């Protein structure tokens, strides 16, 4: 039976380290508050005007391509997951193809808009293409340049202290080895919670999903754009919004549920997991999930302390760091899981 294996891995984080103390100088926050609520000590900031979500994704991709021992011309499909694309459209899939200098190959490029679970959704889609024999070298990237649009004033502190920039990538290939590759993927969503963690503007909603339409300051003319109004801009409604407590409540329920779902399908138990790599949303969420699943410290990998929450990039960055530090070995049972905006969530179980 054909399975999908991760044949190459790479990640890229910008050089500039921003410690919590530096944030204290631009907003009313403290190192202690951030560490206590999120576990984050520092994050990376991309170099504005020089680095973008695409360029960081390309760096991670080149590392993954080299790690897989292939050339970039061997890539036969691209999947790019991000919530912070270079352009509203077109997506980063085609931009990274151009950045890598392989546009002439004219391979397909798919953009995934599933925020924190984007990498898991991308992995699941790529897995279907590989198992059906459609593609042999899929490049899957998760990358974010959150700092392009966070509110670093005190008004935005509950969100902006959490996020950081970075990128991770994998090369996915078919394998016929019995004891290797992706065993299960499970994807879920519940749009009831769409506005609880969202960046709603610019957009076409025109107030449709909101009881208070006035808050957006729309004009009435047929020929007036509604995607971004002056009032939205002056009220800071172009920034991401998060109902932190609501997100926490669902995350700590859905993470264990979707992990158990994968384990049950594979006939395995939490004790069989060699390494759980949760999306690095918040250290408190990861610790809660670890407790519910009764996992030991050495069964869970976290690096949010160094990078903050890098959304679609967090799992591939963490997976690569775990491997670099010898925590991922051939034959290990690896569990990847994510929960986030949408709400969307998912898990993937794989044998390394």
Q: Which parts of this chain interact with ligand ACO (CB under 6 A)?
A: 29, 33-34, 37-38, 116, 157-158, 161-162, 197, 244-245, 247-248, 251, 281-282, 284-285, 309, 339-340
Minimum CB distance to ligand ACO smaller for 285 or for 334: 285
Residue 251, token pair as written in the block: 């995350």
Minimum CB distance to ligand ACO smaller for 23 or for 335: 23
254 C-beta neighbours (distance < 10 Å), count: 23
How many angstroms separate the CA atoms of 119 and 131, rounded?
Answer: 18
Query: Do residues 321 and 178 touch, judged by C-beta distance below 8 A?
Result: no
Minimum CB distance to ligand ACO smaller for 244 or for 270: 244
Query: Do residues 290 and 300 touch, judged by C-beta distance below 8 A?
Result: yes
Minimum CB distance to ligand ACO smaller for 175 or for 347: 347
Rounded to the nearest whole angstrom, what is the least distance from the CB of residue 351 to ligand ACO in the complex? Answer: 27
Supply the DSSP symbol for 184. Answer: E
Instruction: Name the residues annotated as catalytic.
Output: 116, 279, 309
Tell me phi and psi for residue 20, to 5 degrees: -55, -40
172 by DSSP, 3-state: which? strand
Q: Can you list the alpha helix ranges (DSSP code H) found in the chain? A: 20-24, 31-38, 53-68, 92-99, 118-131, 157-160, 230-234, 244-266, 283-292, 304-307, 314-324
Rounded to the nearest whole angstrom, what is the least distance from the CB of residue 156 to ligand ACO in the complex? Answer: 9
How many angstroms separate the CA atoms of 276 and 279, rounded?
Answer: 10
Supply the DSSP symbol for 273. Answer: -
Minimum CB distance to ligand ACO smaller for 97 or for 314: 314
Rounded to the nearest whole angstrom, what is the least distance from the CB of residue 340 to ligand ACO in the complex? Answer: 4
300 C-beta neighbours (distance < 10 Å), count: 18
Q: Which residue is nearest to ligand ACO (CB)?
A: 244
Query: Do residues 255 and 285 touch, judged by C-beta distance below 8 A?
Result: yes
Bridge partners for 170 per DSSP: 9, 140
Rounded to the nearest whole angstrom, what is the least distance from the CB of residue 148 to ligand ACO in the complex? Answer: 17
Rounded to the nearest whole angstrom, what is the least distance from the CB of residue 61 to ligand ACO in the complex? Answer: 23
Minimum CB distance to ligand ACO smaller for 29 or for 54: 29
Q: Can you list the alpha helix ranges (DSSP code H) found in 10-102? A: 20-24, 31-38, 53-68, 92-99
């Amino acid at each position: 039976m054909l399975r999908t294996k991760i044949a190459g891995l790479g990640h890229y984080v910008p050089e500039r380290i921003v410690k919590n103390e530096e944030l204290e100088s631009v907003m009313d926050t403290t190192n202690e508050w951030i560490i206590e609520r999120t576990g984050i000590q520092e994050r990376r900031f991309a170099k504005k005007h020089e680095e973008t979500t695409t360029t960081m994704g390309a760096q991670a991709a080149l590392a993954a391509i080299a790690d897989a021992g292939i050339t970039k011309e061997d890539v036969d499909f691209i999947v790019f997951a991000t919530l912070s694309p270079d352009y509203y459209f077109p997506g980063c899939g085609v931009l990274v193809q151009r950045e890598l200098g392989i546009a002439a190959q004219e391979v397909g490029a798919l953009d995934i808009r599933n925020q924190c679970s984007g990498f898991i959704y991308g992995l699941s889609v790529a897995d279907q293409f590989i198992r059906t024999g459609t593609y042999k070298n899929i490049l899957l990237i998760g990358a974010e340049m959150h700092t392009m649009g966070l509110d670093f004033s005190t008004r935005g502190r509950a969100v902006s202290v959490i996020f950081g920039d970075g990128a991770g990538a994998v090369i996915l290939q078919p394998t016929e080895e019995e004891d290797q590759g992706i065993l299960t993927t499970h994807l879920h969503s519940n749009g009831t919670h769409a506005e609880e963690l969202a960046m709603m503007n610019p957009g076409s909603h025109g107030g449709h999903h909101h009881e208070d339409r006035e808050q957006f300051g729309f004009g009435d003319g047929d020929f007036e754009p509604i995607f971004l109004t002056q009032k939205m801009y002056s009220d800071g409604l172009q920034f991401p919004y998060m109902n932190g407590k609501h997100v926490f409540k669902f995350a700590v329920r859905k993470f264990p549920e979707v992990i158990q779902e994968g384990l049950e399908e594979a006939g395995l138990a939490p004790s069989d997991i060699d390494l759980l790599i949760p999306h690095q949303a918040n250290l408190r969420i990861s610790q809660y999930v670890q407790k519910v699943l009764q996992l030991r410290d050495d069964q869970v990998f976290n690096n949010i302390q160094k990078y903050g929450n890098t959304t679609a990039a967090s799992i591939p960055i963490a997976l690569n760091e775990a491997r670099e530090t010898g925590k991922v070995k051939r034959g290990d049972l690896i569990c990847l899981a994510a929960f986030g905006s949408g709400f969307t969530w998912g898990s993937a179980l794989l044998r390394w």
